[in-house]
Structure 1
Amino acid sequence: MTCFRIDESGYTGFDLLNADQRFQGASAIAIDDDEAARLIKEHFPRIQATELKYRALSRRTSNHSRLLGLMRDLMSDFDCVTYVADKRFMLTLMFVDYSVEPYYYVRGIDFYENGQNYAMASMLHIAGPTLLGIEEFAALMDTFQRAMKEKSPQSLQKLVEAARATNWSELPEVLGPLAQYADIDCLSAIATPGVSTDIAIVILISLITRMEVMADGAYQVEHDQSKNLSTYHDLLQRYIDHDEEVEFRATEITSLRFPLKLTEVTQVDSKSSPAVQLADIMIGAAIEAANNLTGLRPGGLDPEYLMPLYREDQFIHMIPSIDFEEQRRFRSGSQNGEAIEYLASNLFGKKR
């Protein structure tokens, strides 16, 4: 049975405003440990470390050509995918999903149709600081994150006050539900037990949608030992166990179909798994490239040599885009609203 090995990087829990780790992501690759060990020995024949770690290898420029060669082999010879998300944009997207969408939902408007939520979040993320005030927008995002974590009446009231402190009339369709109306449906959505700004499950499910396409039949996933996978193990098991036949389109290249081909998710010690170590190499390179391309942190592999190695279907990124026509085409026919309703009712045990 096919087994995808997964590793991740950039996890900071609920804190998506962490200044030191702007990006979060994960990579999955279908490779067994014997083949992985062979590739490691081929590209790094003199390696003495007990575990291959991207961060340690990339510090030495003498390793860069070897890392690029390894990445080229992995992406040309094995089924794999990498997902990278700008955490601050993900927070803005969540703000739209929880602080704006419920207001429109009760009025019969499908906010997810053709990716409207993504377009609004992109506009808010890019233009928000200018239109709403730089400090005010930053305070709004911080207050929203705290409200999602604390869920107290006080934190919700502070969120409303933060929205009103912005130049919200510049974007009334976005900020109006909170600033003008203190909308109860939005505040109730934020206060829902169990929902948070932790995006680990979002990343894992995004990888699963691609693995479902790559796998010819039933497959398994092995993941490095981590607290966040343990946190979401029960939820992932619900996805695996759900046997009703249903499918929802997300984008031009992704959909969520049940029952999944995925049969099991387990954790392993990366020190004993060369295959998981290669997943670490893949996500480490992608996160480093994101930091390089955005000017946040120089050094490491040159993105100009790394990025052309990816095929279009091997790299998923969640970043803002103001090419609204292209995004509308890419997300045309999106059934995310229906998927959210279905999952809430059938896997999470609650209705909106």
Structure 2
Amino acid sequence: MACTSRIIPLNLSRSTGALKVECFRIDESGYTGFDLLNPEQRFQGATAIAIGDDEARRLIREHLPTLQADELKYRALARRSANRPRLMALQRDLLSHYKCATYVCDKRYLLLLMFLDYAVEPFYYERGMDFYQDGQNYALASLLYTVGPALLGQGALDRLLASFQRAVKEKSPAALTTLVQAARASRWQELPEVLGPLAQFAAPECLRAIAAPGVSTDAALVVLQSLVSRMEIMADGPYRVEHDQSKNLLTYHDLLQRYIRHEDMVTFRQSEIASITFPLKLQSVTQVDSRNSPAVQLADVMIGAAIEAASTLTGQRAGALDAQEVMALYADHQLIHMLPSIDFDEQKRFRQGTQAAQVIDYFAENFHEP
């Protein structure tokens, strides 16, 4: 990371006149690029907070008056037991008095959803069936996540998913053949509706979708889409985004540029509580050195604690803070999550009437890398 700030203002063509442009600060955690099976980083997420640097600096002094470090980092602070009540109080203050949104996803579950998008859905689309109706893809991904390891044979689901993300990345005939072989080597007859297109038919429409330019298992698009949809609701008018200039966030930065430049008028309903409308109220995105931005540092604390809480609650590792207490700080509208659920009736109700197929097609056409 450079020692000086690198400021990159974007798309200033939409003049906001004398309007005050609200600023959300963003930080992420758990980014592993195309590899969503990294066992050490099971969750990925990001937090957005509407707060200025002066106010953020005041809150840091108030809640962590003895802080000696130049930069607020959740992981370093949480190691010391004396800091933990202060970190809880800081998050409570932020969530009670400032516009905040945090997104957390289980990357293995997200990879299963992507598998259904590209290795299964095209087979049904060619036969005139809406694979996404009432969110049944989420139910199938949850079913695979929960019972797939036992149902498909020892290690079969892991091999299938590893082959899938490698095929998406490499897009070579050899990688696609390996994927089909992994499907056939599983007990795919136990779930023929899901694995039949690859195992039984080596469906060319599915293989073409996997090999299509721009298709990726990088979760940045999903994380950003969810976070932007929430910021669009929270913002009273035009707003901008600042985020750290870390290498991980370069992907987010490029995607936000494309979001800002997109001028088509369109709205998509994504779930019972989420929708996204273009053109966005988002006006610009700037990269800053987080050491010079107390507000970005607060976003680091929020997402660090949320990811750690998710890891604790799923038994992956014990966190420094009480995970239940961290999650209890959030109101429903402040926390977005993509986690498996076998409450299929609730999943159907929550996603009834959504436009999943249209959203996927639209974003693939307009926002994936060429």
TM-score, normalisation: structure 1: 0.96
Corresponding residue of 2:102: 82
1:134 aligns with 2:145: no
What aligned pairs does 1:327-338 form with structure 2 within 5 A after superposition? 327-338=347-358
* Alpha-carbon distance in 1 for matches of 2:159, 2:173: 18
Q: Once the two structures are superposed, what CA deviation does each residue of 1:185-211 show, in whole Å capped at 9, x if it has no partner?
A: 100111012211110121011100000
What aligned pairs does 1:275-294 form with structure 2 within 5 A after superposition? 275-294=295-314
The equivalent position to 1:57 in structure 2, one of 77, 89, 94, is 77
Corresponding residue of 1:91: 111
Q: Structure 2 stretches of 5 or more lacking a match?
A: 1-20
- Contact 2:215/2:364 (8 A) holds in 1: no
What aligned pairs does 1:33-52 form with structure 2 within 5 A after superposition? 33-52=53-72
What aligned pairs does 1:147-296 form with structure 2 within 5 A after superposition? 147-296=167-316
Distance 1:131 1:18, change over 3 A: same
Corresponding residue of 2:323: 303
- Contact 1:33/1:273 (8 A) holds in 2: yes
Distance 1:153 1:199, change over 3 A: same
Q: Once the two structures are superposed, what CA deviation does each residue of 1:175-229 show, in whole Å capped at 9, x if it has no partner?
A: 0000000000100111012211110121011100000000010000101112243
Q: Structure 1 stretches of 5 or more lacking a match?
A: none
Distance 1:282 1:297, change over 3 A: same
Relative to structure 2, which stretch is displaced further, 159-168 or 114-123? Answer: 114-123
Relative to structure 2, which stretch is displaced further, 176-185 or 83-92? Answer: 83-92
Corresponding residue of 1:32: 52
Secondary structure, counterpart of 1:134 in structure 2: coil
Shift of residue 345 of structure 1?
4.2
Distance 1:232 1:45, change over 3 A: closer
The one-letter code of the counterpart of 1:258 is: F
Distance 1:233 1:339, change over 3 A: same
Q: Once the two structures are superposed, what CA deviation does each residue of 1:272-312 show, in whole Å capped at 9, x if it has no partner?
A: 00000000000000011011111111131001221111000
Q: Once the two structures are superposed, what CA deviation does each residue of 1:157-190 show, in whole Å capped at 9, x if it has no partner?
A: 0000000000000000000000000000100111
- Please give the root-mean-square deviation of Cα atoms over the aligned residues, in Å: 1.4
Distance 1:43 1:346, change over 3 A: closer
- Contact 1:200/1:228 (8 A) holds in 2: no
Secondary structure, counterpart of 2:353 in structure 1: coil
The equivalent position to 1:316 in structure 2, one of 336, 343, 351, is 336
* Alpha-carbon distance in 2 for matches of 1:217, 1:309: 27
Secondary structure, counterpart of 1:50 in structure 2: coil
Distance 1:114 1:16, change over 3 A: same
Distance 1:298 1:234, change over 3 A: closer
* Alpha-carbon distance in 2 for matches of 1:22, 1:107: 35
Shift of residue 234 of structure 1?
4.0
The one-letter code of the counterpart of 1:118 is: Y
TM-score, normalisation: structure 2: 0.92
Q: How many residues align?
A: 350
Shift of residue 66 of structure 1?
0.3
Distance 1:348 1:15, change over 3 A: closer
Distance 1:326 1:308, change over 3 A: same
The one-letter code of the counterpart of 1:236 is: L
Distance 1:154 1:135, change over 3 A: same
The one-letter code of the counterpart of 1:178 is: L
Shift of residue 348 of structure 1?
5.3
- Contact 1:89/1:121 (8 A) holds in 2: yes
The one-letter code of the counterpart of 1:136 is: A
- Contact 1:95/1:144 (8 A) holds in 2: yes
Distance 1:40 1:98, change over 3 A: same
The equivalent position to 2:29 in structure 1, one of 3, 6, 9, is 9
Distance 1:348 1:91, change over 3 A: closer
The one-letter code of the counterpart of 1:330 is: F
* Alpha-carbon distance in 2 for matches of 1:12, 1:322: 27
- Contact 2:46/2:103 (8 A) holds in 1: yes
Shift of residue 134 of structure 1?
2.6
* Alpha-carbon distance in 2 for matches of 1:161, 1:349: 29
The one-letter code of the counterpart of 2:354 is: S
- Contact 1:10/1:24 (8 A) holds in 2: yes
Distance 1:180 1:343, change over 3 A: same
